[in-house]
Amino acid sequence: MTKAEKPTSQPIDHLALRGAPGAAALLIGEGVMTFAQLDTGVARLAAWLLDQAGGPGERVASWSAKTRAACLMPLAAARAGLIHVPVNPMLKGPQVAHILADSGAKLLITNGAREDMLGEGRPDNCVVQDLKVAEAVIDSGGQGLAPSAADPDDLAAILYTSGSTGRPKGVMLSHANLWLGAESVASYLKLVPDDRVLAVLPLSFDYGQNQLLSAWYAGTAVAPLDYLTPRDVVKAVARHRATTLAGVPPLWVQLVESHWPAEAAVHLKRLTNSGGALTPSLIDAMRATFPNAEITPMYGLTEAFRSTYLEPKLVADHPTSMGRAIPHAEILVCRPDGTITADEEPGELVHCGPLVAQGYWQDAERTADRFKPAPRVSRYGGMAVWSGDTVRRDANHLLYFVGRDDAMIKTAGNRVSPTEVEEVAVASGLIFEAVAFGVPDARLGAAIVLIVRGKGGGADEAGLAVYLRQNLPNFMQPQAIEWRDALPRNPNGKLDRVVIAADWAQACHDV
């Protein structure tokens, strides 16, 4: 069988050249940055980053709100031959310290308050520069660096994502991964220069970062927004006349419950969702709230960016479907031996093709566990991502999610490692053991429950709650903490997570 050729791509910083020079590229605060100004700003920031980091190939991290510098970082670092490490602004000092140490970042761009939060956790070889300095560089008179000539397979970014065991792991993304992801989304969403994309998701997520990249691929403007309440989103849609909005299920719940003036809702013509499934009732509410908008549900994993999307015309009749493969992705449903399942037969979702990442940063063991040779029938071959998710395919080749093999908790659009929550809880010194798991929640998708065994027969509930607030970001906070004198174990002596979760569910049912 002849293998498919890899589609062509360019260095990711060339996105700054995609739009008409005088057209708006970035709508931030009260300012407008044109594509010509975007390219100039990227060039200046790239030169400064290269000087600060010491040379090509180094990792540079950014930890901030959606400032102008934060938006330019993915392109500027790439233009300088550096590797960008965006950090979720909601993370606390210990999580950021791990990411900086694990990535070997030589430079961190952040503000003073976040630097203070990091404290002594900053690695010795990581220099911190204030965001204000980066902003000043963008406005300086320097010429900066010319567009890069990077090989599309060169490493461009490391995005950290939670795993079911241990701390976050860094997914290595090439220029081609980012470019083809931007091209794919811009293509199937049919973005055009006249659109306006409101970017409300964190830029540290592949889904969030793509809000920038796909918009710039299409030559259109993006308006980044850090919001505190749903009302902030409503106002921003009206102010920017936004046509495109990406969200996760908990955000959509909040937005459909908000008051939308008709003149604001009418601007939106496309809504996209990932980070959890939309329920049929939520889809109905979104249709009622945004009558002019098409809804595009999507499924993805950071290790391969985006895998599937459901065409808007199919949503009404197939509201629970994951859809079909996005452009540049090959999605197979496989048995354990790599053969393809029959229609309606559950199997593992395997993602093949040029969107597959390069593995986990400096983690050969976990890379080998998830990134394996593609099934023999793959038209691309090479390495594939074996997702661990069980799906089924119907006679129309539409995919449906069945279940997840790992214990990841999907809460408020975030992937949370139960082990990471447990490790922080035990580090408090107030408990011996902890087990975290997710339970269904109408607003969050899943809420985190933490079961702990305290020390000395006591339960310092207030002390543990304070410690967790200080050391875990908001989206990792347990919604319920329960104390036990003893926790059940399996025959191997390990905590029996299944029994612990079942006991908790039964206790709730009995109340």
CATH superfamily entry for domain 409-510: ANL, C-terminal domain (3.30.300.30)
Provide, rounded to the nearest whole percent, the portion of the chain with pLDDT above 90. 78
Read off the pLDDT band of 278 (50, 70, 90). Answer: confident
| Separation between Cα atoms, residue 243 and residue 469, nearest integer Å | 37
Tell me the pLDDT of the chain averaged across its residues: 93
Read off the pLDDT band of 452 (50, 70, 90). Answer: very high
Q: Are the CB atoms for 347 and 334 separated by under 8 Å?
A: yes
pLDDT recorded at residue 416 = 86
| Separation between Cα atoms, residue 511 and residue 509, nearest integer Å | 6
Question: pLDDT digit string (tens) for 296-350?
Answer: 999 999 999 999 999 999 999 999 999 999 999 999 999 999 999 999 999 999 9
Q: Which of 97-111, 243-257, 394-408, 463-477 has the lowest mean pLDDT?
A: 394-408
Read off the pLDDT band of 405 (50, 70, 90). Answer: low
Is the model's pLDDT at 194 over the cut of 80? Answer: yes
Q: Position 127: which residue type? A: V
Question: pLDDT digit string (tens) for 431-448?
Answer: 888 999 999 998 898 999
Read off the pLDDT band of 167 (50, 70, 90). Answer: confident
pLDDT recorded at residue 417 = 81
Is the model's pLDDT at 412 over the cut of 90? Answer: no
Q: Are the CB atoms for 64 and 91 separated by under 8 Å?
A: no
pLDDT recorded at residue 141 = 84
Question: pLDDT digit string (tens) for 52-71?
Answer: 999 999 999 999 999 999 99
pLDDT recorded at residue 165 = 54
Q: Are the CB atoms for 354 and 177 separated by under 8 Å?
A: yes
Who contacts 25 (Cβ-Cβ below 8 Å, separation ≥6)? 16, 19, 33, 34, 35, 37, 38, 216, 221, 222
pLDDT recorded at residue 134 = 97
Closest C-alpha among 240, 253, 251, 258 to residue 207: 251
Per-residue tokens: 480: 């319920």
CA count, 13 A, side-chain hemisphere, 191: 32
Is the model's pLDDT at 467 over the cut of 60? Answer: yes
Read off the pLDDT band of 16 (50, 70, 90). Answer: very high
The residue written with tokens 């079911």 in the block is 164
Query: Dihedral of the CA atoms 73, 76, 82, 86 (nearest 10)?
Result: 10
CA pseudo-torsion sign 339, 345, 346, 349:
positive
pLDDT recorded at residue 508 = 82
Average pLDDT over residues 359-367: 96
Q: Which has more pLDDT, 250 or 361? A: 361
Instruction: Give bridge partners of residue 333 from the DSSP assignment.
Output: 349
